[in-house]
Structure 1
């Protein structure tokens, strides 16, 4: 025989502090959008373009059966020492990169430093350096990028002694920069204030103990 059971449900601002914390945990574990990092990726793609990077892409299948191209960017975080970000790219000199990056991100001194470092290395090699970075291994930090550097000289001149190491370190610094942007965005979106706004905006309700109801 069926029964009708009545239960009182609450909105987030009606819960006790302990129940509200439990509701936030639920949201952080399952309510996060899968594409929360899209804005960071879009920003990174623009930064990469300015610096002379041509990010590789991969084909991703969509739910409806179609496909799309996504940049080869990976990350894992944000809790262990093996966490990090990496990317696959081709790199060549981009004229005016230091000026352009300052126009795009006037307050980001780390990006300014990376652009200046690449510019200085290229200048010493008559702007002929090229590089390719690929992902290797099972992790996603900057040392998982296999990076090769060459000088495209019509007279077959060798690279300067510091060229290979300088380009590799600049690209790895850029991967570290990307990871910090992802980490900052994640912790911002998972903050109590932003989580509360998302829960309220979606109209979620909870039991008195803070378990999701509807």
Structure 2
């Protein structure tokens, strides 16, 4: 025999502090959009292009059966050993990168430093250095990038002794920079104020104990 059960539900601002915290935990665990990091990825792609990186792509299957090409960028975070970010890319000299990166991100001194380091080592090698960065292993951090460096010299001239190490470290520094941007964006989106705004905007309701209801 069926029966009707009545239950009182509450909006977030009607909950006790403890119940509100429980509601926030629910949202952080399952309410985040899958593409919360898209803006960070888009910014990174622009930064990469300015610095001379041509990000590799991979096919991603769409719900409708087609595919799209996504950049080869990966990360894992944000509180475990081994967390980080990495990418796959080809790199070659890009004119005016230090000036252009300062125009694009005038306050970001780390990007300025990376651009300056790449410019300086390219200058010492007549702007002939190239690199290939690929992901390896099962983790996603800067040391999961296998980076090979060569000098594309028409006279087969060797690269300077510091060229390989400088390019490798600059690309790994860029992966570290990307991870910090992702972490900063995640911390912002998971802050109490932003989570509360999202819950209220979506009209979610909860039981008195803070369990998601509707």
- TM bucket normalised to smaller: over 0.9
Give 1:59's aligned residue.
Answer: 59
Give 2:132's aligned residue.
Answer: 132
Within a 5 Å distance, the mapping from 1:34-53 to structure 2 comes to 34-53=34-53
Q: Quote the Cα distance in structure 2 between the aligned partners of 1:80 and 1:116.
A: 32
Q: Quote the Cα distance in structure 2 between the aligned partners of 1:136 and 1:130.
A: 19
Q: Quote the Cα distance in structure 2 between the aligned partners of 1:37 and 1:43.
A: 10
Give 1:154's aligned residue.
Answer: 154
1:91 aligns with 2:91: yes
Q: Deviations 1:50-96 (Å, cap 9, x if unpaired)?
A: 00000000000011111100000000000112000000000000000
Structure 2: gaps (5+ residues): none
Q: Which runs of 4+ in 1 moved over 6 A?
A: none
Structure 1: gaps (5+ residues): none
DSSP 3-state at the match of 2:174: helix
DSSP 3-state at the match of 1:112: helix
Q: Quote the Cα distance in structure 2 between the aligned partners of 1:80 and 1:37.
A: 19
Give 1:117's aligned residue.
Answer: 117
Q: Quote the Cα distance in structure 2 between the aligned partners of 1:121 and 1:132.
A: 16
DSSP 3-state at the match of 1:70: strand
CA positional deviation for 1:168: 0.1
Give 2:192's aligned residue.
Answer: 192
Q: Quote the Cα distance in structure 1 between the aligned partners of 2:157 and 2:67.
A: 43
Give the TM-score, by structure 1 length: 1.00
DSSP 3-state at the match of 1:5: coil
Q: Quote the Cα distance in structure 2 between the aligned partners of 1:171 and 1:139.
A: 17
1:101 aligns with 2:126: no
Q: Quote the Cα distance in structure 2 between the aligned partners of 1:144 and 1:180.
A: 17
CA positional deviation for 1:154: 0.4
Within a 5 Å distance, the mapping from 1:162-181 to structure 2 comes to 162-181=162-181
Q: Quote the Cα distance in structure 2 between the aligned partners of 1:174 and 1:142.
A: 9
